[in-house]
A and B are shown apart, each in its own frame.
Chain A
Amino acid sequence: MKKLPAVDVVLVGFGWTGAIMAQELTEAGLQVLAIERGDWRDTPTHFPTTTAPDELRWYWRKEMFQNNSRETLTFRNNRGQTALPMRRWGSFLPGEGVGGGGVHWNGQTWRFLPSDFVAASHNTERYGSLPEGMTVQDYGVTYDELEPHFDRFEKLCGIGGKAGNLGGTIVAGGNPFEGPRSAEYPNPPMHMTFSQNQFARSARELGLNPFPGPSANMSRAYTNPLGVQLAPCSYCGFCEKYGCGNYSKASAQTTILPVLMRKPNFTLKVQNEVLSIQKDSTGRRATGVIHVDIDGNEYEQPADLVILCAYQLSNTRLMMLSGIGEIYNPATGEGLVGKNYCYQVMTSAQVFYDDKYTNGFVGAGALGMCVDEYNGDNFDHSGLGFIGGGYLANWTTNARPIETHRTPEGTPNWGSAWKKAVADNFLKSTSVGAHGASMAYATNALDLDPTYKDVYGRPLMRMTYDFTPNDRAMAAFMTERVTAIAKGMGGREIKIEDRSGPYDSMPYQTTHNTGGTIMGTTPANSVVNRYLQSWDVPNLFVMGAGVFPQNAGYNPTGTVAALAYWAADAIRTQYLRAPGPLVQS
C-alpha cells in the first residue's frame, strides 16, 4: 500500500458539509484534501438543461444516486426479522459524487426550533418523564449558539423566505414560531401559485398563520457572499431527485465550488473510497485514512485532522468499520455508534378540483406555503400521547409525468379507468402534507449486517427501523390537521394518505435519515460532543444528520449546514490553537 504525503485535513465525502468544511478550513490556511467516492459533477457537464429533466434516467434508473450494486444496506422492521439488502433504492435516495445529496435535494431550508435542540429537558420539564423506550436527548448545542451559522448558510444559498421573528419581534407574514433571527432572509419568497393561495386561505380560516416555505430555489438572481452567482428559478419542477441545469438551486456547485476549486491549498480526489480511519497505537488519535481507487489500488493518506462529511449512513458505517466507539446493542443498551437512528413521519391528503387548474408542472422543490402551529412544542401536547410534531405545507414540487399522477379515492391502480382518472386530474390536483418529527427509541438502530458484504468484502450496514408509538400517535394527530386544511381548499374531494402499518422501505418518503453518530453532553450519551468532535478520537469530527439525537419536524439540511459552520468555527478558533478535546469529559 502506497503511503501518500500528509495533509493538514482530510475530508471523507464531498457534498454540502465537505464543501463547507473545505471552504472554511482552506480560509484558515490549511492544506485540505477531500476524498469522494463518486464522480466529479458540474452543472454544464453533468446536468445541463438539455438532460437535467430526464425522469427515466435520473430517478427511475437511479443514475443520480449512490451505486447500490457496490454497496447498499440491509433492512428489517425489528430484531425478530432477518434483514435483507435494499437492492433498489426506495424510501430514501442517498447521493453519490461531488455535491452529494445536495445536488438532488428540493431546497426546503429550515432552522429547527429552539426547543428541538433541548427536546429531552424541555419536554420532561413540561410534560413529565419521557415514555418507556424513548431515547430522546438534548443536542448539547442551543439554537442561539447556532443562529449566526444558520444565517451564514442562508446567505450562502440565497434562501428565499419571510422572517417571522426578527430579533424577538414577531413579523407578520413569516413563521411566528421560529427562533429569533438576526436578519431577514437574503431573498424574497418564491412566487406562489393557485394551490398555495388555496392552502393559505384555508389555513387562515382555521386561525393558523401561513407563511412561505424557505426556499433554496432562487426567487431572483443572487450573488452570494463568496461572489458566486445563482440564477432565477424557472419553476420547471425538476429539483428533488435531479440536478438543476439553470443554476437556480443552491448546491455545493452553485455556491462554493467555483471559489474553492481555484484555491491552491485545496485538492479534490474523486472515484476514491475511504475504507477506514487509521488510528495510532493509543487508539486516541486518528493518523489518517485508507482509501482505494477504482482500480483497486489502496493508499494510506496521513492527516492531522480527519473529518467525516459523507452521508449519515456512510459516516456511521465508517465509524463502525474503523472500530471507533462501540456499536450500539439494543438488547443491552451498551454502545453508542448506530444508536438513535431516526427518520421522518410523513402524512398527506390530496385535493382534487373540478374546474380549477393547479398546473402542478409549474413547480419548484421549495415552492410552498406552510403552517407551523403543530410543530415541535408550538402547541400543548398534554394528554396527546406524543411529543414533537411537524409543519404542514402545500408544496408544488412537480408534476413529473412518470412519477406524479394523483387519482381520487376508488380509482383502480391500472387500466383505462386509471388512465382516464390520471388525465382528468393531472392539471387539477394538489396535496397537503405533514412533515413530522421522528423521536428516538431504543428499538430503532443501525449496526453491521452479519451476512451481507459490499464490493470490498466489508459488512453492509443493517437498519432496524419501524414507526414508534410516538410516531403513530403524532401521525394520527397530524393527519387530522392536514385533512382540515385540505377540506378548506375548495376542491371537489380529498383523499387521505395516512401513515398506517409498518414502515415500508420501498415507497419514496424522504431522504432524511438521522442518528447513528449522535451528539450530546457527555461521552456516556453521545458519539460526538457539542462541536461534533469525537469523544474517543479528538482529531476526528463527524458532520451530517447522523449527529441529530432525534429528528425534528423539518427538513434537515439547514441544521446540518449550521452545525458544519459551527464545528468549522470551533476548529478555527479553538482546536487549531490547542489541538485536543474541546469539551472535557
Chain B
Amino acid sequence: MRSLIVLAGVLTIWAQPGAAQQNSHAQVERGRYITATANCQSCHTEAGGEAFAGGRAMETPFGTIHTPNITFDEATGIGRWSKDDFHRALHHGRSRDGSRLYPAFPYPHFTKMPRADVDAVYDYLASRPRVSKERKEHELPFPLSWRRMVGIWNMMFFEPGEFRADPARSPEWNRGAYLVEGPGHCAGCHTEKNLAGADNKDRHLMGGQLENWAAPNIRGGRNGGLEHWSAAEIVAFLKTGRNAHTGALTRMGEVVNVSTEEMTEADLGAIATYLKSLDSEARAPSSRPSEAVLKAGRAIYFDNCSACHVSTGVGVPHVFARLAGSNKLNDPDPTTVIRIILEGARAVPTAARPSPLSMPAFGWKLTDDQIASVASYVRASWGNNGAPVTAAQVEDVRSALTARR
C-alpha cells in the first residue's frame, strides 16, 4: 500500500541530521519533562521493548496502527530529522517526507505546543540511545491506507495553532488547560469520537471508548465524572496512581507511570484546577434492574466482592476501590465494569505506592448472566445510577477479549 502514498508538501531544504547536536544537560532535562507531559513513551514503546523504539500496535476502529521508532537511529528512527521536520510533525501532522501522518498521532493536540517546547523534546530524544527497529506496516483498509485521505480529515477536523491563554482565567487554569488540551492530549481517550475518528467536540472529555475500555468522563465541575473528587484527590491520583476513590489500572496506569507520576505537583495541581472548572451535562436517571436481578446480584456480590469492596460498597481508601459513587461504575458505557470483572485489574505500582494491588479475574468463575447481575447490582446500589447490564453485553466484551488473545 505504501506505493500509493503520494508525496505532498514541500521538501525542506534546510533539513540536516540533528542527531549530532550536543545539548546542555539543562535542555535535555527540560525535554525529558516535556516528553513526559506528552506521554510519548507510552505509544512509542512496545510491551517489553526499548523505550521510544515504537512497534506498539494501536487498535483503532479503522484498523491497526503500528507506532514508529522515534529514537534517533538514522535508518529506522528519526535520526535524519531536523528540528523543523520534528516541529512540522507535531504542529501540522506531516512526516519528514511531507506525507501526512495519521491522526492516531495526536498532532491536533501537539499543535498547541510552543516551538521551544517541541525543540526541547527533540533534544531529549536526540540524547537517548539509538535503537534500530523497523516499523511494521499499518493494517488499514483502502481508502484509509491512502494517506491523502488525511488531508480531507484535516480540513474538516484539524485546527493548527499554538495554545492561546485565556486572559480572564488564572495562570494556573491556563497552565492546566494547556497541559490537558496540548501535550497531555487527554481527549485522545476521554472524548468520544465521531464516525471519522475525530473528537466529538460537544462531548469533550465526557468519556470515550478505546481498545475495549470505556475511558470515563473526567470533567470535574457540576455533573462531571470527577465532580466528587477534590483537586487534591485528582493530584494524588495522577502522582501516586491511587486516591481514596480508586486506582489507575491498565491504560491510565501507563499514563501515570510514564507521564503524570513524573510531573510536578504544581503542574498536576494546574490540571486539577482546569478539570474542576469543566461542567458536564446532567444525567437522566437510569432504569433500575428488576428485583430478581438485584437479588441475584447482591448474593454474588456478597460472596465474591464484599471482602474487599465492603458490603456497603465503600471499599478501603487507597487500597480497594470505592464502588459507591464510582465514576467507572456510573459510566453510561459498562464496558470497563464488565471487563474488570472478567479479567481482573491491577493498580499500577508507583514510586509512592509500590504495591501492585490486584483484583482477580472472575471470567472463569462467573457466567455471563451472573456477571450481568452483579454488574447491574453494583451500578444500581449505594446511590449509583448506572443502567442494568445484560448478559449479551457481557458476552460481547468476553468474545472481543477472547478474539484479542
Contacts and interface: CB of A to CB of B under 8 A. Distances in A.
Interface of A: 43-44, 48-51, 221, 223, 226-229, 231-232, 234, 236, 245-247, 254, 258-259, 262
A223 B316 CA distance: 13
B352 interface: yes
Interface string B304-340: 1001100000001111100000000000000000000
Given A229-B357, A236-B307, A44 B349 contact: no
Given A228-B355, A236-B307, A247-B355, A50 B320 contact: no
Contacts of A236: 307
Among B344, B346, B357, B365, the one with the most A-chain Cβ atoms within 10 Å of its Cβ is B357
A50 B318 contact: no
Contact of A43 (B316, B317, B358, B361): B358
Nearest to B305: A49
B362 interface: yes
A49 B319 contact: no
A48 B362 CA distance: 10
Given A228-B354, A228-B355, 18 more contacts: A44-B344, A49-B304, A49-B360, A50-B361, A221-B317, A221-B318, A226-B354, A227-B354, A227-B355, A229-B318, A229-B357, A231-B308, A231-B319, A247-B319, A247-B355, A254-B355, A258-B356, A262-B354
Interface in B286-320: 304, 307-308, 316-320
Contacts of A245: 360
B118 to A, nearest CB: 32
Given A227-B352, A246-B308, A258-B355, A232 B316 contact: yes
A174 B318 CA distance: 30
Nearest to A255: B355
Interface in B358-386: 358-362, 365
Interface string B121-153: 000000000000000000000000000000000
Interface of B: 304, 307-308, 316-320, 344, 346, 349, 352-362, 365
A231 B344 CA distance: 18
Contacts of B318: 221, 223, 229
Nearest to A253: B355
Given A50-B362, A227-B352, A247-B355, A234 B307 contact: yes
Contacts of A50: 304, 360-362, 365
Contacts of A246: 307-308
A52 to B, nearest CB: 9
Nearest to B347: A229
A48 B349 CA distance: 18
B201 to A, nearest CB: 40
A247 to B, nearest CB: 6
Contacts of B362: 50
B308 A49 contact: yes
A221 B316 contact: yes
A229 B355 contact: yes
Contacts of A228: 354-355
A463 B304 CA distance: 44
B316 A48 contact: no
A530 B356 CA distance: 37
3 A-B pairs with least C-beta separation: A48-B360, A44-B358, A258-B354
A236 B303 CA distance: 11
B262 to A, nearest CB: 16
9 contacts: A50-B304, A50-B361, A221-B319, A227-B352, A228-B354, A228-B355, A231-B320, A231-B357, A258-B354
Given A229-B318, A231-B319, A234-B307, A44 B354 contact: no
Nearest to A220: B316
A232 B319 CA distance: 9
Which residue, of A43, A229, A234, has the highest number of chain B Cβ atoms within 10 A? A229
B249 to A, nearest CB: 13
Contacts of A48: 344, 358, 360-361
Given A226-B354, A229-B357, A247-B355, A258 B349 contact: yes
A259 B354 contact: yes
From B346, B356, B365, name the one whose CB has the most chain A CB atoms within 10 angstroms: B356
Given A44-B346, A44-B360, A50-B360, A231 B316 contact: yes
B360 to A, nearest CB: 3
A203 B159 CA distance: 79
Nearest to B362: A50
A223 B318 CA distance: 10
Contacts of B316: 221, 231-232
Contacts of B360: 44, 48-51, 245
A234 B362 CA distance: 19
A44, A228, A246, A258 interface centre (most CB from chain B within 10 Å): A44
A223 B307 CA distance: 19
Contacts of B344: 44, 48
Contacts of B359: 44
Given A48-B360, A50-B365, A229 B353 contact: yes
A161 B370 CA distance: 40
Contacts of B346: 44
B356 to A, nearest CB: 6
A108 to B, nearest CB: 22
A73 B346 CA distance: 40
A223 B358 CA distance: 16
Nearest to A47: B360
B80 to A, nearest CB: 33
Contacts of A51: 360
Contacts of B317: 221
A229 B352 CA distance: 11
A208 to B, nearest CB: 35
A223 B360 CA distance: 21
B365 A49 contact: no
Contact of B319 (A229, A258, A259, A262): A229
A551 to B, nearest CB: 33
A258 B242 CA distance: 15
Nearest to A245: B360
A223 B365 CA distance: 31
A343 to B, nearest CB: 35
A258 B358 CA distance: 12
A223, A227, A259 pick with most chain B CB within 10 angstroms: A227
Contacts of B304: 49-50
Contacts of B361: 48, 50
A405 to B, nearest CB: 23
Contacts of A43: 358
A250 to B, nearest CB: 13
Contacts of B357: 229, 231, 247
Nearest to A48: B360
